[in-house]
């Protein structure tokens, strides 16, 4: 467990993502396993069609004693900020000091699918995030914005320990908004050192802005086995939604050329050095060094995304990099 850093020092936490398709019956055991293995954080996801993030976070918090639990990411377009704040405040009252909350645009295709798409997602997220933070700090919100309308609303019992509210965003304009409005930023995988540094330049926050970097991860004594495990998950690299992740890479031109010609074989044909650069992968020592590079590039917390059909086994192997 990472203790609170001394004044002037920067936090260097390591967490893990709870896979979205873990069986509900296995959720408690896996959360306790993550805590016992020594991870600092466990992040739950809210992907469309799977499980709700607030419910998962509540179960994990109640089943563990010290883990910091992250909600990442709740799509703002699908929620009213007053009710978002009520849910978050309830968890924060019950489990003070152990919760971070990520709010984001939501994947565009999912938002269209559920009738929550908007032509101005950045404005919506800024209004939603600002209202949630204000409410959690115990202040009344009276606003009639483009997307958020609250008429003198306040929480009756705001939490004594206010959870941090982070923006889960990718591109420069959204990152700049996060720096202005949020307590931190959640960067989706693959968060390379170059993308982290570019994102921090766009965020341009002063003070204690928390940066959470997701990274696909696989640890094995055989580096090729570890690389093979993460390859399928890297197939999305180069698609439009991941353009901000790709642009700063030193091999961006070669990656785009391969993407244009490889078709369905793109992930299989990625060079091993690209896999190593875009993920926490390999032997425990190599994985540990990759985590350190992400911390050194500006990540407050490196959150490992396990891959494979057996999440319990995958998480146990990832603990070798702690």
Instruction: Express each pLDDT in 229-277 by its tens digit.
Output: 999 999 999 788 899 999 999 999 999 999 999 988 999 999 999 999 9
pLDDT at 213 over 70: yes
pLDDT at 1 over 60: no
CB distance 97 to 161 below 8 Å:
yes
CB distance 68 to 163 below 8 Å:
no
Tell me: cis bond preceding 190? Omega within 30 of 0 counts: yes
User: How high is the pLDDT of residue 10?
Assistant: 64
- Integer Cα distance of 135 and 84 in angstroms: 10
Q: What is the mean pLDDT of residues 140-168?
A: 96
Hunting for tokens 């078709």 — which residue is that? 263
Query: Of 61-70, 81-90, 143-152, which range is least confident?
Result: 143-152
CB distance 211 to 200 below 8 Å:
yes
Percentage of the chain exceeding pLDDT 90:
81
Q: What is the mean pLDDT of residues 158-166?
A: 98
Q: What is the pTM of this model?
A: 0.94
Sign for the pseudo-dihedral over CA of 273, 276, 282, 284? positive
User: How high is the pLDDT of residue 175?
Assistant: 97
Q: What is the mean pLDDT of residues 198-205?
A: 95
- Integer Cα distance of 61 and 100 in angstroms: 12
Q: What is the mean pLDDT of residues 19-43?
A: 94
Q: Which domains does the chain have, with CATH numbers?
A: 13-223+284-321 (3.20.20.30)
Which distant-in-sequence residues (6+ apart) come within 8 Å of 7 by Cβ?
none
Hunting for tokens 């890479």 — which residue is that? 249
E strand spans, the chain? 13-18, 41-44, 68-75, 99-104, 141-144, 149-153, 164-168, 184-187, 210-219, 280-282, 301-306
Q: What is the mean pLDDT of residues 279-289?
A: 97
User: How high is the pLDDT of residue 7?
Assistant: 40
CB distance 272 to 265 below 8 Å:
no
Which distant-in-sequence residues (6+ apart) come within 8 Å of 23 by Cβ?
none
pLDDT at 319 over 60: yes
Query: What is residue 70's DSSP assignment?
Result: E
Q: What is the mean pLDDT of residues 218-223?
A: 96
Q: Confidence band (pLDDT; 50, 70, 90) for 311?
A: confident
């Amino acid at each position: 467990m990472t203790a609170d850093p001394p004044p002037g020092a920067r936090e260097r936490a390591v967490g893990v993502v709870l896979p979205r398709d873990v069986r509900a019956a296995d959720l408690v055991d896996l959360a306790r396993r993550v805590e016992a293995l020594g991870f600092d954080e466990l992040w739950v996801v809210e992907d469309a069609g799977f499980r709700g993030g607030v419910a998962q976070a509540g179960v994990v918090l109640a089943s563990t004693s010290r883990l910091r639990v992250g909600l990442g990411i709740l799509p703002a377009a699908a929620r009213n900020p007053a009710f978002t704040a009520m849910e978050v405040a309830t968890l924060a009252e019950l489990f003070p000091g152990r919760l971070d909350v990520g709010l984001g645009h939501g994947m565009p295709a999912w938002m269209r699918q559920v009738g929550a798409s908007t032509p101005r997602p950045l404005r919506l997220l800024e209004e939603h995030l600002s209202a949630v933070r204000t409410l959690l700090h115990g202040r009344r919100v009276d606003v009639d914005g483009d997307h958020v309308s609250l008429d003198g609303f306040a929480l009756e019992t705001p939490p004594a320990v206010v959870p941090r509210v982070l923006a889960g965003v990718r591109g420069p304009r959204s990152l700049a908004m996060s720096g202005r409005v949020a307590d931190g930023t959640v960067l989706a995988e693959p968060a390379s050192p170059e993308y982290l540094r570019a994102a921090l330049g766009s965020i341009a926050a002063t003070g204690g802005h928390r940066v959470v970097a997701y990274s696909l991860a696989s640890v094995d004594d055989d580096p090729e086995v570890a690389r093979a495990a993460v390859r399928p998950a890297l197939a999305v690299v180069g698609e439009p939604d991941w353009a901000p992740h790709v642009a700063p890479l030193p091999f961006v031109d070669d990656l785009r050329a391969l993407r244009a010609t490889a078709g369905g074989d793109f992930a299989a044909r990625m060079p091993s050095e690209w896999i190593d650069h875009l993920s926490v992968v390999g032997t425990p020592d190599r994985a540990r060094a990759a985590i350190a590079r992400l911390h050194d590039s500006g990540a407050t917390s490196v959150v490992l995304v396990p891959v494979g059909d057996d999440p319990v086994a995958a998480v146990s192997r990832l603990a070798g990099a702690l």
